[in-house]
Amino acid sequence: MTEIILHHYENSPFGQAMRLALGLKGIDWKSVQQPDICPKPFLSALTGGYERIPVLQIGSDIYCDTAVIVDALEALKPEPSLYPKPLGFAGRMIALWSGGQWFMPAVGVALGTNPEIVSDEFWEDRAKRFGMDRRKFLPMVPHLTAQFEAGAALVAETLADGRDYISGDLAGHADLMLYMNIRFASFAGKKPSDFGSDVAAWYDRIDGIGYGNFEEWTGQQAIDYAKASEPVSSGSVDPASGFSAGDKVSVRTETPDPAAVRGTLIGLNDREIIIKREDEQTGALHVHFPRLGQILAPA
């Protein structure tokens, strides 16, 4: 049986959402704790330079970003789905909003109200990779806090009709991504009950999902496992994309982060980018990225 490995760290909101996704699906997994700042040499050996958290590893297939992680988990174990009815795949758009437009306000609440909660090295890392220059970021905290409160009010209003979850009767991707931001705000002393009893009850239900069965692994174990495995994913390149299978390409995020992953293009559509790369430490790897939010260019 192929091992499922999550590279993450404890306080990562996106890592928290994916730990819960594994728990919700009842998938046994291996936990590899990565540093919260760069460098992350064990992770980079697998991804080719991408150092954001979380990253999912299934043998020697490497999934970068929660959007392709949830797709991989859905393919691996379709039920219970992360997109339950009646909301269905519309939950993806809510999840993207929570991890995009609403995430930075959560960061403002979590870190901005007590900037000493993290180290100077952490701030330097986030300035380089996310543009979070502390001198410019901290004056924005009152605005970010107001934006977070406005987003939390939307969550409360959605739950006010008595539903158990955003998705309806069952938890899904949307719930996990909204939950992660409210949990992140707890770093600043915010409680779910601050947003109303419906939010507090919903939060407790999500919290109760747990992480399922997992075992701690080292970064070296993950690298050794990748080298002993072969990529199993396959793909094709959309001919309308302007790229062809076999092209040498680079992929990087639409942020100031300078990291670019280079390899051979083997899959491209509106949902996913797959590149093949090879490393002495890991052997052949297929590295997966979401199409949305990534810059794909000739290498």
- How far apart CA 106 and CA 99 sit, in angstroms, is 10
Q: What is the pLDDT of residue 113?
A: 85
Is residue 47 within 8 Å of residue 257, measured between CB atoms?
Answer: no
Q: Say if 289 falls within a structural domain.
A: yes
Q: What is the pLDDT of residue 1?
A: 75
- How far apart CA 103 and CA 270 sit, in angstroms, is 24
Q: Which residues fall within 8 angstroms of residue 97, CB to CB, at 6 or more apart? A: none
Which residue, of 179, 207, 235, is where some domain finishes? 207
pLDDT tens readout for residues 179-231: 999 999 999 999 999 999 999 999 999 999 999 999 999 999 999 999 999 99
The count of other CB atoms within 10 Å of the CB of residue 130 is 16
- How far apart CA 87 and CA 45 sit, in angstroms, is 38
Same domain? For 112 and 52 the reply is no
Q: What is the pLDDT of residue 114?
A: 86
pTM of the predicted model, to two decimals? 0.97
- Per the rule left: phi > 0, alpha: psi between -120 and 50, beta: everything else, 198 is alpha
3-state secondary structure of 229: coil
Same domain? For 202 and 102 the reply is yes
Same domain? For 165 and 135 the reply is yes
Q: What is the pLDDT of residue 25?
A: 98
3-state helix, strand, coil in the chain (%, to 5): 45, 20, 35
Structure tokens at 277: 């790369």
Flag residues of the chain having pLDDT under 50.
none
CA distances from 102 to 74, 150, 271 (A): 24, 9, 22
Q: What is the pLDDT of residue 234?
A: 87
Q: What is the pLDDT of residue 130?
A: 92
CATH number at residue 164: 1.20.1050.10
Q: Say if 161 falls within a structural domain.
A: yes
